[in-house]
A and B are shown apart, each in its own frame.
Chain A
Amino acid sequence: MNSNHQWPTWEVFTQKKQGAAHEHAGSVHAPDAEMALLNARDVYGRRQEGVNIWVVPTNAIIASTPEDVGAFFDPANDKMYRSPNFFKTADGLKTI
């Protein structure tokens, strides 16, 4: 296959257990959603990694740029009060 005719890529998100957040696992090539799902299963789900898979066309993801770092993230640096650090949580609570 000519490198100019590669299938489009899809981003793969796997869920480790029910209720947990889907996490980015990597990407696969596929011509459509069904094959993207099958390929994602084969590449990222073959070692019991999870219970659910999402695939999303890579070009559907809108990412912030490196230039955005300052405006997006720096203002949070000196505002501890925005973090929920000071709340007491029940013992044994793991998913927060």
Chain B
Amino acid sequence: MTELNIALIEYCLRIADNSLIHAQRIADWTGHGPILEEDIAMSNVSLDLLGQARGFYTYASQLEGNGKSEDFYAFHRGERDFRNRLMVEQPDLKDFGFTMMKLFLNGCFDYLFFRDLMKSRDETISGLAAKSIKEVTYHVRHAGDWVVRLGDGTEESHQRIQKSLNELWPFTNELFEQNEVDELLIQNGAAFNKKELKVEWDAMVNEIITKATLIIPSDKIYFHSGGINGVHSEHLGFLLAEMQYLPRMYPDAIW
């Protein structure tokens, strides 16, 4: 296999893992939403993310060409194999505002990321990006709307969403992390420099955070990282144990 294809597979798995793990977290809300409409909305978002993951897993399996299915990547890899950012694996089902803030911070990045990726020289990747960006555009609108409402809402909602922002901020540097895999793909025109998205991301986030009367935490804090090397927080193992239990316990299970 060419060096380029190996890098492409790794790159697709990162995108797919981000979407899959985020989807699984948001799906925790199904049946627990604050109101029926929001419950349905969160299930929709989760299914959007799951769809994105499937697209990129399928492409990775085609590139790998050894008969691995999308299910293999989702259900038969361990936590060290997963390449998702640490932010998406953080548990969601504790505070609705936390989930919306996480969806917003990630969504702003994914919007810019997929916008660039639509210009990828790899046609499958550009196609998947074009499909994904429509969904992400809606996620940013929906989550951004809630961030403003909660931030600019009651004293309690303001204090709680500010706490969520403070808790999530140390995970935001990882959005822009890249390594030699990115560099190779950037040289080949298949991917783009994520670091160049930082200025636009800051502006997008700032606009909503300001509207929400919230305060961006200081940058003089410890920032987490490790996802692209498969080094995760303690939460991912538990998530995978639950998500992977059934196909591992009953390998022949079908719908």
Contact (Cβ within 8 A) B145 A30:
no
A88–B135 alpha-carbon span in the complex (Å): 46
A-B interface pairs (CB < 8 A), number: 28
Contact (Cβ within 8 A) B145 A35:
yes
A41–B44 alpha-carbon span in the complex (Å): 10
A46–B34 alpha-carbon span in the complex (Å): 20
Residues in A whose Cβ lies below 8 Å from that of B141 = 38
Contact (Cβ within 8 A) B37 A28:
yes
21 contacting pairs across A/B (C-beta < 8 A): A1-B34, A1-B35, A28-B37, A29-B35, A29-B36, A34-B145, A35-B145, A35-B149, A38-B41, A38-B141, A39-B37, A39-B38, A41-B138, A42-B37, A42-B40, A42-B41, A42-B44, A42-B142, A43-B37, A43-B40, A46-B40
Q: Which of A1, A30, A34 is close to B37, meaning CB atoms less than 8 Å apart? A: A30
Residues in B whose Cβ lies below 8 Å from that of A72 = none
Convert A1-12 into 0s and 1s, putting 1 for each residue whose CB lies closer than 8 angstroms to a CB of B. 100000100000
Residues in A whose Cβ lies below 8 Å from that of B149 = 35
Interface size of B by CB at 8 A reads: 13
Closest 3 CB pairs of A and B: A39-B37, A42-B41, A46-B44
Chain A residues close to B by CB (< 8 Å): 1, 7, 28-30, 34-35, 38-39, 41-43, 46
Contact (Cβ within 8 A) A38 B145:
yes
Residues in B whose Cβ lies below 8 Å from that of A42 = 37, 40-41, 44, 142
Chain B residues close to A by CB (< 8 Å): 34-38, 40-41, 44, 138, 141-142, 145, 149
Q: How far is the CB of B141 from chain A (nearest CB, A)?
A: 7
Residues in B whose Cβ lies below 8 Å from that of A29 = 35-37
Contact (Cβ within 8 A) B142 A38:
yes
A1–B44 alpha-carbon span in the complex (Å): 23
Q: Kindly name the residue among A1, A29, A42 whose own CB sees the greatest number of chain B CB atoms within 10 A.
A: A42
Residues in A whose Cβ lies below 8 Å from that of B38 = 39
Q: How far is the CB of B211 from chain A (nearest CB, A)?
A: 13
Q: How far is the CB of A36 from chain B (nearest CB, A)?
A: 9
Residues in A whose Cβ lies below 8 Å from that of B44 = 42, 46
Contact (Cβ within 8 A) B35 A7:
yes
Residues in A whose Cβ lies below 8 Å from that of B142 = 38, 42
A59–B239 alpha-carbon span in the complex (Å): 45
Q: How far is the CB of A17 from chain B (nearest CB, A)?
A: 19
Residues in A whose Cβ lies below 8 Å from that of B145 = 34-35, 38
Residue in chain B with minimal CB distance to A34: B145
Residues in A whose Cβ lies below 8 Å from that of B41 = 38-39, 42
Residues in A whose Cβ lies below 8 Å from that of B34 = 1
Q: How far is the CB of B143 from chain A (nearest CB, A)?
A: 10
A84–B14 alpha-carbon span in the complex (Å): 62
Residue in chain A with minimal CB distance to B48: A46
A5–B241 alpha-carbon span in the complex (Å): 40
A43–B39 alpha-carbon span in the complex (Å): 10
Give me 18 other A-B pairs in contact (C-beta within 8 A), A1-B35, A34-B145, A43-B40 excluded. Answer: A1-B34, A7-B35, A29-B35, A29-B36, A29-B37, A30-B37, A35-B145, A35-B149, A38-B41, A38-B142, A39-B38, A39-B41, A41-B138, A42-B44, A42-B142, A43-B37, A46-B40, A46-B44
